[in-house]
Structure 1
Amino acid sequence: MPDFDKLDKAIHEKGRLSIMTLLATRMPWSFQDLKAELNMSDGNLITHLRTLHKLGLVAVTKEIRDRPQTSYALTA
């Protein structure tokens, strides 16, 4: 039986694992698309995304089109 205590909690926490799973399906995802798909609050989603970004797992791209837009993608 696998030792689930050894799983990296930074990635395997439910919210972050959900984000990583979505980012693996296509790239990039906008903040609004992630929020809608995951049904997370702004604060919860940004906290998880910042954690993943600090770990070097998620890249953040900021652009200005008609308005500022932030998108996220896996780094590898």
Structure 2
Amino acid sequence: MSEVELDPVIHSASRLRVVATLAALERGDRVSFPRLQKLLDMTAGNLSTHLRRLEAAGYVTQTKTFSGRTPATYVELSTAGRAAFERYTHTLSELLKGAQE
């Protein structure tokens, strides 16, 4: 079996949870930061840190808007992020198949 590497940006347990949660949304759908924070049971600071790393890799986009005078942040998986997650899950599946042989 050739040496296969999992995407280190996604492979972090917390970032994998973020990407997997966003990948469950339909393409083009987004989720509010507080909703994502609640779904993942993460602190705002921890989630922000992981989102910045994913955003730097081009895997997520964050849109900051206002609802009246209240700031609102929405997060969605980018096309590149969805492709990276698909590659990640395919690679992981292949690694697991190889481990069974």
Report the secondary structure of 1:40's partner residue: coil
Match of 2:48 in 1: 46
Give % identity. 39
Q: How does 1:1-76 map to 2 (within 5 A)?
A: 6-26=5-25, 27-66=29-68, 67-76=70-79
Q: Compared with structure 1, are the counterparts of its residues 31 and 2 closer, same or farther at alpha carbon in structure 2 (3 Å cutoff)?
A: farther
Offset at 1:43?
1.0
Query: Unpaired runs of 5+ in structure 2?
Result: 80-101
Larger Rg: 2
Q: Detail structure 1 runs of 4+ shifted over 3 Å in the superposition.
A: 1-4
TM-score, structure 1 as length reference: 0.88
Offset at 1:2?
8.6
Instruction: Provide the aligned C-alpha RMSD in A.
Output: 1.7
